[in-house]
Amino acid sequence: MNLNDWISRNTFHHSQFWDLKQLIEDKEKLGLTISLCLPTLNEEKTIGKEIILFKSELMDRYPLVDEIAVVDSGSIDKTREIAAAFGADVYLSSEILPQVGEKKGKGENLWKAVYQLKGDIICYVDADIANIHPRFAYGLIAPLIYNEQMKYVKAFYDRPLAFSQGVRPSGGGRVTEILVRPLFSLFFPELTCLIQPLSGEYAVRREVLEQIPFPIGYGVETAHILDVYQRWGLDAFGQTDLDQRVHRNQSTLSLGKMAFGILRTFLARSEVLGSTADMKQFSTVLRQFQAQNEKYEQIEHEIVEEERPPMNTLPEYREKFGKEYISSKGTSSTG
């Protein structure tokens, strides 16, 4: 598959979907219901603004969304009270499917939302977005309405086209660029066309969500991508540019925990990768993104990590220093 063709065909900008009346008309023709899920844990500072905006713009003014639900992990602040006061359906994760027990983590909330909510499409939006806008929902939902073959639409953002021109780096956050993109480049080169695979905003068809497992913690987005790719292929994905996303930054220690959870999730799928695969079979190309004016494009870096042998295997070295050769098995020889 030509990845640039995929990027051109499956990458959107939210401004393409400005006509919400048309979007609603097409949604109704298809008989779809749409749920908006906000997973929360101590988000009292931002949850009210998100609910007010989504409810007023995407339920009351433009009835695109059929329900707005908060699934909470057990906040100790006023997240649930504020969410309920502003009109969201509020659920405590531990009270959904109580017979399966309670686990802590964002992935747990997302999984239980599949049981609790009614939509044919579920759109997940993080609850800590300071610059919240209706595009964070309709920009992800629209490709699923307009393309019945598409199953999973990811967000990407932080696109400074209004401020600068020319060529500049563009991609995901720190964990994406340091961990996930190198892993995908090695094992699943096609998946490097996803600009921000770890973004917390995505819209998915129920028929997909009900068939894939959910890690309860940091690995949920990575697991979703690998599982959807293995089952439905790259064309099941779309991605939408939402411009910029303003939220709180995490500490390096927190990012380390996130990376650890993601790596465990990735390695847990080693049967897909082939645990005895020869490293020589893996790609030596790291694929990243850059934005050039109005266009996103992949850039490729050939990175070959060759190794030199132990110095004491060189006759020249042993002769110079009068050393014996000691093999990896501990046996020695001269010459």
Q: Examine the domain organization and report whether 323 and 211 are in the same domain.
A: no
Sequence-ordered alpha helix ranges (H) in 90-173: 106-116, 135-146
- pTM for this entry: 0.83
Do the domain assignments include residue 282?
Answer: no
Same domain, 54 and 150: yes
Give tens-digit pLDDT for 222-245: 999 999 999 999 999 999 999 888
Q: Is residue 221 part of a domain?
A: yes
Average of pLDDT values for 158-166? 44
> What are the tokens at 159?
């696109």
177-191, pLDDT tens digit by residue? 899 999 998 889 999
**pLDDT classification of 205: cutoffs 50, 70, 90:** very high
Q: According to the per-residue pLDDT averaged within each range, which of 7-11, 173-177, 184-188 is highest?
A: 7-11
Pick from 240, 300, 286: which is nearest to 7 by CA?
240
pLDDT in tens, 257-313: 888 888 888 888 866 555 445 555 656 676 666 666 566 677 776 755 555 666 577
Domain with 318, as residue range(s), is 309-335
Based on the domain organization, do 19 and 129 belong to the same domain? Answer: yes
Q: Is the pLDDT of residue 119 over 70?
A: yes
Report DSSP state, residue 77: S
Looking at the fold, whether 327 and 243 belong to one and the same domain comes out as no
Region for residue 143 given its phi and psi (left: phi exceeds 0; alpha: psi -120 to 50; beta: otherwise): alpha
Across the chain, mean pLDDT equals 85
In a domain, 304, yes or no: no
Sequence-separated (6 or more) residues with CB below 8 Å from residue 32: 119, 120, 121, 145
Identity at 200, one-letter amino acid code: G
φ/ψ of 239, rounded to 5, equals -150, 140
Higher local confidence (pLDDT), 182 or 326: 182
Query: How confident is the model at residue 324, as a pLDDT?
Result: 77
Please indicate, yes or no, whether residues 334 and 239 belong to a single structural domain of this protein. Answer: no
How many domains does the chain contain in total? Answer: 2
Torsion of CA 26, 120, 220, 281, to 10 degrees: -70
**238 lies in the same domain as 325:** no
Condensed to tens digits (0 to 9), the pLDDT of residues 82-95 reads: 999 999 999 999 99
Domain at 71, CATH number: 3.90.550.10
- Categorize the per-residue pLDDT at 326 as very low, low, confident or very high, splitting at 50, 70 and 90: low
Within 8 A by CB and 6+ apart from 214, the residues are: 107, 108, 110, 111, 220, 223, 224
Confidence of residue 159 (pLDDT cuts 50, 70, 90): very low
Instruction: Please tell me whether residue 42 adopts helix, strand or coil conformation.
Output: coil
The 3 state secondary structure assigned to 192-242 is HHCCCCCCCCEEEEHHHHCCCCCCCCCCHHHHHHHHHHHHHCHHHEEEEEC
The 3-state DSSP class for residue 130 equals coil
Once rounded to an integer, what is the mean pLDDT over residues 11-35? 97
Is position 58 within any domain?
yes
Q: Tell me if 190 is assigned to some domain.
A: no
Instruction: Answer yes or no: is 263 within a domain.
Output: no
In terms of domains, do 114 and 202 share one? yes
pLDDT for residue 276: 46
Taking the C-alpha atoms of residue 278 and residue 276, their distance in angstroms, rounded to an integer, is: 6
204 in any annotated domain: yes
- State whether 331 and 226 are in the same domain: no
Q: Which segment of 44-48, 99-103, 114-118 scores lowest on mean pLDDT?
A: 99-103
Residue 333 has pLDDT above 70, yes or no: no
Q: Do 228 and 317 share a structural domain?
A: no
Same structural domain for residues 203 and 323? no
Asked whether residue 332 is domain-assigned, the answer is yes
Any idea which residue has 């934005």 for tokens? Answer: 291
Residues 28-76 have pLDDT tens digits of 999 999 999 999 999 999 999 999 999 999 999 999 999 999 999 999 9
* DSSP 8-state class, residue 86: T
Q: What is the pLDDT of residue 274?
A: 57
Clarify whether residues 200 and 335 are in a common domain.
Answer: no
SS3 content of the chain, % helix, strand, coil (to 5): 45, 20, 40
Residues 21 and 121 in one domain: yes
Q: Residue 244 corresponds to which tokens in the numbers above? A: 């910029």
Could you tell me which of 236, 244, 224 has the C-alpha nearest to residue 160?
A: 244
How large is the C-alpha radius of gyration of the chain? 24
Domain end call among 248, 264, 287: 248
